A and B are shown apart, each in its own frame.
Chain A
């Protein structure tokens, strides 16, 4: 479907991003670049045991060295959850800012601050830990769930209610629809498979960190690596009992998020605590090994999927069991149980569904959302089963998907059971059609399947929501706000708390405002902001930046436009002494000759530029042109992505390389073509890495990461590992989402979600072997090939 609004002035144009100059000159200030006079450097004392009770910490030597020291005794003793996206009642709290009962290696138990990093390191090493008890760590969620297993948590909070944790299960969720058992009996084909995903590390190029400064009014200013300045403000306020109006969290550039900072990073709270004790600015930036060792990792999931279909290719049953290894603390385990169900249900029309989900504690780094929030994992499992069903039925895998997927007109679950809407835009048929031709889908079985180098083509189809909005207020908080004002020279200030962690969402907003007001993007200034001068935005996550944030910006711009027209009308009446001008006859359009918006009356010579009008309003005391909007989306429409991947496997070394990639995306109107393509490129490489390279593996005795947090042994692909330019084709479907700003939807997570599945399916097509454990390493491939040869 071609976009309804044709002939955009600014939407869809290739314009360098607004912060490009700052970033290419190295002047963009990230949290770790902040430097304040009198600043102290912080270091965290990390638990050297995976599970222990600490009796005390001898801080005397560290204090003698002149450091400021805090232990669990110096911080508020409140249980909390660092992620404030869910409503209170659905928030499970089992964290402490500093603890004497560490439950994973790296959990913060104390911290120091000193005038230099070296001095802080010395003070850190001068702290003496006296251990009361050390426990053998539990590293396997199935072991952890067994009756009699040592308890990792006993009493935690859900909202403000204390609950008892049984069998180390932090949260559960069950759901069913229809009669799965009956449907499975009636199915002509049933496939049941078990899957184990890997435990991936986000590897944002910027390690997490924070700077905190005490302010004269008793408040604090905080810079941190966060995807949500407002939730950071709220949590700090709640924990440290400082009024929110006195906690100013500044929006800085963020060197990557991918979900690692949806929650308030521990380092931020510790920096605040140190700052409050020292009454001096404190900078606490994690080292890379701390960032990996003790801060965050993706959810590791164990699935059992059982699916049934009829001979004619109709899916009729889907059973899904999801055991999640969440590590030592909950961040968003309970919501993820719901979203994982949502992904499963929304991928295909199962017709009869049963779901059991459990989030299980282990003594490992706590897990948090990672681009896709369970969707890549679920899509991998589902797309594998779908592929196998199609094979079993002798139906083309592309046709089988087209027949059973949830597309236009279907009910779609946003991010869980409480968020349902109807799909209004759907580019899947177009993407499948173009993709299969480009990759040569029909020749895939004629590619070499014997000999040393074998090739295969795999397909996978995925989606992600655009935000987490819904018709009623449910379990998830999702709203945003925007302020736009016009300066007295006609330039525009755009104020939003929404964070851009690189994807370019703010640039999309600017183009949307530009389009609405017909003002060139270079005249729109994105104001550096903090929590004191912005309306609330929940967080940049769930691919909501453009769809929700952009729509808020558009509505604010719409209001400004109305006000501009009102003022223009006043001007026209005064200037041209005409009878009152018909308001509807006033138009705005961009005039390249004056490089400004021109407000004019159709069919007359009455016109004025925005800069002239703004100056006039100032001189005439007509007031400021300003609009402030708070906005919640009532839907969260899916963006669809389809990947066709051709791989080559060296069957003697097990090494896989990407040969050709078709990346098809349905994101509605593409506001920023370069940055949208960038999301796809990045999404593919991340998915490739997830599927073939990444895992964090623990020492079973000590519970320490085998690689000790050192990136020498956590590899991600380099430019030399990526496919050639000509072998990577990005294609955007011609769709238009009626509920999105100028027809746009999100893309950030959809870009990566189906990639591991596509690669796994490609390997299966090349080798005739399926893998049910990630990552699919050369070691595993070689082993499987040998087993197959031996028969």
Chain B
């Protein structure tokens, strides 16, 4: 199998890496770039733990071939905090007790980022529909929904 060189923006930085066509973006991120925040949890697209942003859209890294992000912009959980300052979503999750074991947390934060980019003031129903592709076994989703609401407030405050 021939390797290809792909070039893409990873958390704001231009990177280059050789990959085989059957390599998944998830494993390239975790193994080659040592960005282990994006998790493997089911590999079948059912749990959302591997959610990343590609060109601003939330997708599943476990079902994305690395070659498919050539020329694109990828943002992982590690790329959210700017200059050591947490993104308001990260703050909100911490403040609302929305984190327990923490394994699903990066996926939820990324999907929240996508949600608030599209819809800065979502209703509870809209939040629940948008995040239903992210599973959590610990929290029952209550504090997560609260955190997303708080995050949307923070965003709106910042925009003022």
CB distance from B142 to the nearest CB of A (A): 4
Contacts known (A677-B142, A684-B140); A206 close to B90, Cβ less than 8 A:
no
> Contacts of A288 on B, CB cut-off 8 Å?
41-44
> Contacts of A682 on B, CB cut-off 8 Å?
100, 136-140
> Contacts of A356 on B, CB cut-off 8 Å?
none
> Contacts of B67 on A, CB cut-off 8 Å?
none
CB pair B36–A24 under 8 Å, yes or no, is no
CB pair A205–B49 under 8 Å, yes or no, is yes
> Contacts of B144 on A, CB cut-off 8 Å?
719
Annotate A658-691 by CB proximity to B: 1 below 8 A, 0 otherwise. Answer: 0000000000000011110110111111100000
CB pair A24–B99 under 8 Å, yes or no, is yes
CB pair B78–A681 under 8 Å, yes or no, is no
CB pair A712–B46 under 8 Å, yes or no, is yes
CB distance from A721 to the nearest CB of B (A): 8
Interface of chain A residues 241 through 287 with chain B (CB within 8 A): 253-258, 285, 287
Please pick, from B39, B46, B81, B124, the residue contacting A725 in the complex, using a CB distance under 8 A.
Answer: B124
Decide yes or no whether A711 CB sits under 8 A from chain B.
yes
Contacts known (A29-B36, A684-B140, A718-B132); A24 close to B78, Cβ less than 8 A:
no
Decide yes or no whether B97 CB sits under 8 A from chain A.
yes
Decide yes or no whether B155 CB sits under 8 A from chain A.
no
Contacts known (A20-B93, A203-B137, A205-B136); A719 close to B105, Cβ less than 8 A:
no
Contacts known (A21-B86, A25-B90, A502-B102); A722 close to B128, Cβ less than 8 A:
yes
> Contacts of B22 on A, CB cut-off 8 Å?
118
- Bound together, the chains give a CA A135 to CA B128 distance in angstroms of 48
- Bound together, the chains give a CA A426 to CA B76 distance in angstroms of 47
- Bound together, the chains give a CA A28 to CA B136 distance in angstroms of 17
Decide yes or no whether B120 CB sits under 8 A from chain A.
no
CB pair A686–B137 under 8 Å, yes or no, is yes
> Contacts of A711 on B, CB cut-off 8 Å?
42, 44, 46-47
Interface of chain B residues 95 through 122 with chain A (CB within 8 A): 95-106, 109
Annotate A534-567 by CB proximity to B: 1 below 8 A, 0 otherwise. Answer: 0000000000000000000000000000000000
Which of A30-38, A81-89, A582-590 lies at the interface?
A30-38
CB pair A681–B142 under 8 Å, yes or no, is yes
Please pick, from B86, B95, B101, the residue contacting A502 in the complex, using a CB distance under 8 A.
Answer: B101
> Contacts of B136 on A, CB cut-off 8 Å?
205, 682, 719
CB pair B104–A205 under 8 Å, yes or no, is yes
CB distance from B123 to the nearest CB of A (A): 11
> Contacts of A131 on B, CB cut-off 8 Å?
none
CB pair B102–A255 under 8 Å, yes or no, is yes
CB pair B96–A674 under 8 Å, yes or no, is yes
- Bound together, the chains give a CA A502 to CA B104 distance in angstroms of 11
Interface of chain B residues 110 through 160 with chain A (CB within 8 A): 124, 127-129, 131-146
Please pick, from A29, A254, A256, A719, the residue contacting B137 in the complex, using a CB distance under 8 A.
Answer: A256
> Contacts of A14 on B, CB cut-off 8 Å?
97
> Contacts of B137 on A, CB cut-off 8 Å?
202-205, 256, 258, 682, 686, 716
Decide yes or no whether A207 CB sits under 8 A from chain B.
yes
- Bound together, the chains give a CA A330 to CA B32 distance in angstroms of 40
Decide yes or no whether A17 CB sits under 8 A from chain B.
yes
CB pair A725–B97 under 8 Å, yes or no, is no
Decide yes or no whether A76 CB sits under 8 A from chain B.
no
Please pick, from A19, A26, A253, the residue contacting B76 in the complex, using a CB distance under 8 A.
Answer: A26
CB pair A26–B78 under 8 Å, yes or no, is yes
Please pick, from B35, B43, B76, B94, the residue contacting A17 in the complex, using a CB distance under 8 A.
Answer: B94
> Contacts of B80 on A, CB cut-off 8 Å?
25
CB distance from A714 to the nearest CB of B (A): 9
Task: Pull 25 A–B residue pairs with CB atoms less than 8 Å apart, ordered by A.
Answer: A16-B95, A20-B94, A23-B99, A24-B90, A24-B105, A24-B106, A25-B90, A26-B78, A27-B78, A29-B36, A30-B103, A205-B104, A257-B101, A258-B137, A285-B40, A288-B44, A675-B97, A678-B139, A681-B143, A683-B140, A684-B140, A686-B137, A686-B140, A711-B42, A712-B46
Chain A residues with a Cβ under 8 A of chain B: 14, 16-17, 19-30, 32-33, 35, 117-118, 202-207, 253-258, 285, 287-288, 501-504, 672-675, 677-678, 680-686, 710-712, 716, 718-722, 724-725, 728
